[in-house]
Chain A
Amino acid sequence: MDPGDLILFERSLQHAVGVHDGQALDAALLELGWHDALGHDTQTAIATLFSLQGSEHTTSASLDHVLTLRLGLERALPSGVVLPALGQVDPPGEYEGDHLVVRGLGSAALEDHEETIVVARDGHATVVVDVPTAALTVRRIHGMDAELELVEVTATLDVMEARQKLSPSAWPSSVALCQLAVGHELVGAARKMLELARRHALERAQFGQFIGQFQAVRHRLAEALVAIEAADAMLGAAWEDESPTAAAVAKALAGRAARTAARHCQQVLAGIGFTSEHELHRYIRSVLVLNELFGGSRTLTTALGVELLTTQQLPALVPL
């Protein structure tokens, strides 16, 4: 996009995300051409939308489109899409003997579609199966953050014929793209928490001064900003690098940064930040859940460490 188009695109997304949520947001995104943008300017489309979703605490079914973008599907959406189970990066489906076992998450919009795409492991192969949505057990998740409007999807089905076999790199690169999307959402939420805490520190006075003048408070907020900027820089680097390793590093850093920000910002907001009257808790809830989508930071970090110890090789990421 040229700079003029980009500003226009960002403004219309900002408006859409600010006004709409859930399925209304899906409709608004379709109207303003986000899905087209996803195809031809993937980074801008994902980074802009998901940062906004994070900072506005809104949700949409856009992650479905991100997940399927690089699968190389012969027939595109609309269908429902099953996302990996909480904390997982593996496909949500697995062929076990005579059965196709499905265990994953999805967006609330999944139930509106007659068919749902399930990516499944079949031995060493990864395949795509079209499953009638009615055959899946779909449970609306309240959990830590009901506002994310996620559903839990489970099923044990008789073996169904796969519609398509995926190339070996299709699933890892789709996961990487989703990790970047959720990474941006986490950073967006973390920046919002920092802004809420910063505003509080400039308004709340104790001992005759604003609490933002106390070094203990200032350093907590500085710590949050450092973590956020580090994660954001790594997200940018991962877009350039395009490797699954870089995306996983960025996602892990974003998840950790968001939890660091949550911890410091809640402490600065103190009592009011512990209430449901203040909006901070909504962000704390969402980053806890988002951190576990497409691999939690602890899991991703340990996996990287195991890889490094096994290969004894530090991958040369982020070249000049």
Chain B
Amino acid sequence: MEIAEFRLALDSWLDENESLLIDERRAAATLDEQMAHLAKVKRMAYEAGFMRWGWPERVGGFGGSTMLRAYLGEALTSRDMVEPGIYSMTEVLAPTMIDYATPELAAAMVPRLLRGDETWCQGFSEPGTGSNLASLSCRATRTTGGWSVTGQKVWTSLAQFADRCVLLTRTGTPDSAHKGITALFVDMDSPGITVRPIETMHGAAEFSEVFFDDVVVPVDRTLGEEGQGWAVAMDLLPYERSTALWHRAAFLGRRLQLLLRAAPSGALDPGAVGEVAQLLYALRARSRTTQRRLAGGERLGPETSIDKVLVATAEQAVFDLVADGLSTDVLIKDDPTSERWRREFLYSRAATIYGGTAEIQRNIIARRLLDLGADR
């Protein structure tokens, strides 16, 4: 399947099914409603075949270039059929499952994620472990019945909806840092797991605290080998900074386009508009290069931190412009469309915080790309 052929087929399918794929209430939709709609869109796209292209056949895909996945997400996002953040979780979690789960486990689980049957989450951050991921302490101990996990995660996106979790645990000594980490694939309905959603300032309980109390995880749910969890995390993070970013760039383009139409005459400074558009184009150019490297089979690494800095900068720039151009909507109006602008503006404040802060990205760039040596 070539991308041009895929694009043609997909675009006409999206046109035909637009009324089903667009959630009428989307401006006012709660997170629960967004999740339900996402599952519907994924199922439809899976059954029509589009969701299967770009994924290996051994996990239920049809094969073909990863660019097809990038285009599908771009099309769904730019037509406002899905929210990019919740849609792209597939792009963050499935590739690492394919790289590190046993072939049987990947074959059994990945199709459920692609088809929208399941939601997965990513258990990385902890109360004492934010930017310094290697200091995590959620403990996994080998027992006769498998792993026993005890500890706490936080900022776990979509945990309250999740059926499974890619979980980083401490299996080495407490001070073993990145050497003593093991990744597990955990069923979220396991006894001993408690999820407490946290309400964010943009009004959605987008992430949660997750408590693990002697949670038993079978040994065949280990991703990679014991002690290989850091490699799993380093494998996953570039995926978070590649295809998911391409989708986010498409979303930002759509919102900027809407802003141009919606802003009252004279409300926007031309210089500011031009600069934001340039940032978006640069982000697309950079992210497209990354997409092509991924499609060419290259292993992505620390250079994706540049993509991440660019997307965070562009997202905040777009919504700073929204706050200027649509100040009445963002600040005082209460209709669904205005509430959506306000929600998105507030959410954009987190763009330099989640998925590795702006500072951590710059630390990675300094150490790994500029070769400036260790921080201290």
| Real binding pair | yes
Which residues of A257-314 have CB atoms within 8 Å of chain B's CB atoms? 298, 300-306, 308-309, 312-314
Given contacts A225-B306, A253-B282, A305-B272, contact A318 B370 (CB under 8 A): no
Which 3 A-B pairs give the minimum distances between C-beta atoms? Answer: A305-B274, A305-B270, A218-B366
Contact with A along B116-133 (1 / 0, CB 8 A): 000000000000000000
Find chain A residues with CB under 8 A from B376 CB: 213
Task: Report which residue of B260, B282, B306 has the largest number of chain A beta carbons within 10 angstroms of its beta carbon.
Answer: B282
Q: Is B136 an interface residue (CB 8 A)?
A: no
Find chain B residues with CB under 8 A from A230 CB: 279, 282-283, 285-286, 306, 310
Do residues B289 and A301 form an inter-chain contact, with CB atoms below 8 A? no
Do residues A231 and B282 form an inter-chain contact, with CB atoms below 8 A? yes
Q: Is B143 an interface residue (CB 8 A)?
A: no
Find chain A residues with CB under 8 A from B306 CB: 225-226, 229-230
Contact with A along B276-290 (1 / 0, CB 8 A): 011111111110110
Given contacts A210-B373, A252-B278, A314-B253, contact A223 B362 (CB under 8 A): yes
Do residues A309 and B273 form an inter-chain contact, with CB atoms below 8 A? yes
Do residues A320 and B291 form an inter-chain contact, with CB atoms below 8 A? yes
Given contacts A304-B274, A305-B269, A308-B273, contact A233 B365 (CB under 8 A): no
The answer for the CA separation of A20 and B284 in the assembled complex, in Å, is 38
Q: What distance in Å separates the Cβ of A309 from its nearest Cβ neighbour in chain B?
A: 6
Contact with A along B175-208 (1 / 0, CB 8 A): 0000000000000000000000000000000000
Do residues A317 and B260 form an inter-chain contact, with CB atoms below 8 A? no
Given contacts A218-B362, A222-B366, contact A201 B268 (CB under 8 A): no
Q: What distance in Å separates the Cβ of B159 from its nearest Cβ neighbour in chain A?
A: 32
Contact with A along B299-337 (1 / 0, CB 8 A): 000000010011000000000000000000000000000
Q: What distance in Å separates the Cβ of A24 from its nearest Cβ neighbour in chain B?
A: 34
Stretch from B35-43, B67-75, B89-97, B216-224 that touches the partner? B67-75
Contact of A302 among B257, B274, B370 (CB under 8 A): B274
Residue pairs across A and B with Cβ atoms less than 8 A apart, 13 shown, are A198-B371, A202-B373, A212-B366, A215-B375, A222-B370, A225-B365, A226-B310, A230-B286, A233-B285, A234-B278, A252-B278, A253-B278, A305-B270
Given contacts A212-B372, A225-B306, A313-B260, contact A305 B273 (CB under 8 A): yes
Do residues A302 and B281 form an inter-chain contact, with CB atoms below 8 A? no
Do residues A320 and B74 form an inter-chain contact, with CB atoms below 8 A? yes
Do residues B365 and A226 form an inter-chain contact, with CB atoms below 8 A? yes
Do residues A314 and B373 form an inter-chain contact, with CB atoms below 8 A? no
Q: Is A15 an interface residue (CB 8 A)?
A: no
Q: Is B297 an interface residue (CB 8 A)?
A: no
Find chain B residues with CB under 8 A from A226 CB: 306, 309-310, 365
Find chain B residues with CB under 8 A from A300 CB: 274
Given contacts A198-B370, A309-B268, A318-B284, contact A218 B274 (CB under 8 A): no
Q: What distance in Å separates the Cβ of A171 from its nearest Cβ neighbour in chain B?
A: 22
Contact of B71 among A253, A313, A320 (CB under 8 A): A320
Q: What distance in Å separates the Cβ of A214 from its nearest Cβ neighbour in chain B?
A: 9
Name the residue on B nearest A235 (C-beta): B285
Contact with B along A178-216 (1 / 0, CB 8 A): 000000000000000010001001100000001011010
Given contacts A213-B373, A225-B306, A305-B271, contact A320 B277 (CB under 8 A): no
Q: Is A249 an interface residue (CB 8 A)?
A: yes
Task: Report which residue of A221, A223, A298, A305 has the largest number of chain B beta carbons within 10 angstroms of its beta carbon.
Answer: A305
- Of the four ranges (under 10, 10 to 19, 20 to 34, 35 or more), the interface on chain A belongs to 35 or more
Find chain A residues with CB under 8 A from B362 CB: 218-219, 222-223
Find chain A residues with CB under 8 A from B370 CB: 194, 198, 218, 221-222, 225
Find chain A residues with CB under 8 A from B271 CB: 298, 301-302, 305
Do residues B286 and A308 form an inter-chain contact, with CB atoms below 8 A? no
Given contacts A223-B362, A308-B260, contact A318 B285 (CB under 8 A): yes
Do residues B372 and A237 form an inter-chain contact, with CB atoms below 8 A? no
Do residues A317 and B275 form an inter-chain contact, with CB atoms below 8 A? no
The answer for the CA separation of A230 and B280 in the assembled complex, in Å, is 10
Find chain B residues with CB under 8 A from A252 CB: 274, 278
A221-B372, A303-B274, A313-B257 are known; give 20 further A-B pairs, CB within 8 A: A198-B370, A198-B371, A210-B373, A218-B367, A222-B309, A225-B306, A226-B310, A230-B285, A233-B289, A301-B271, A301-B278, A304-B274, A305-B268, A308-B273, A309-B260, A320-B3, A320-B70, A320-B71, A320-B246, A320-B291
Do residues A317 and B286 form an inter-chain contact, with CB atoms below 8 A? no
Q: Is A87 an interface residue (CB 8 A)?
A: no
Name the residue on A nearest B361 (C-beta): A222
Q: What distance in Å separates the Cβ of A10 from its nearest Cβ neighbour in chain B?
A: 20
Do residues B285 and A234 form an inter-chain contact, with CB atoms below 8 A? yes
Name the residue on B nearest A223 (C-beta): B362
Which residues of B243-282 have CB atoms within 8 Å of chain A's CB atoms? 246, 253, 256-257, 260-261, 268-275, 277-282
Q: What distance in Å separates the Cβ of A242 from its nearest Cβ neighbour in chain B?
A: 14
Find chain A residues with CB under 8 A from B273 CB: 304-305, 308-309
Do residues B270 and A309 form an inter-chain contact, with CB atoms below 8 A? yes
Given contacts A320-B70, A320-B291, contact A308 B366 (CB under 8 A): no
Find chain B residues with CB under 8 A from A308 CB: 260, 270, 273-274, 277
Q: Is A236 an interface residue (CB 8 A)?
A: yes
Q: Is B363 an interface residue (CB 8 A)?
A: yes
Find chain A residues with CB under 8 A from B20 CB: none
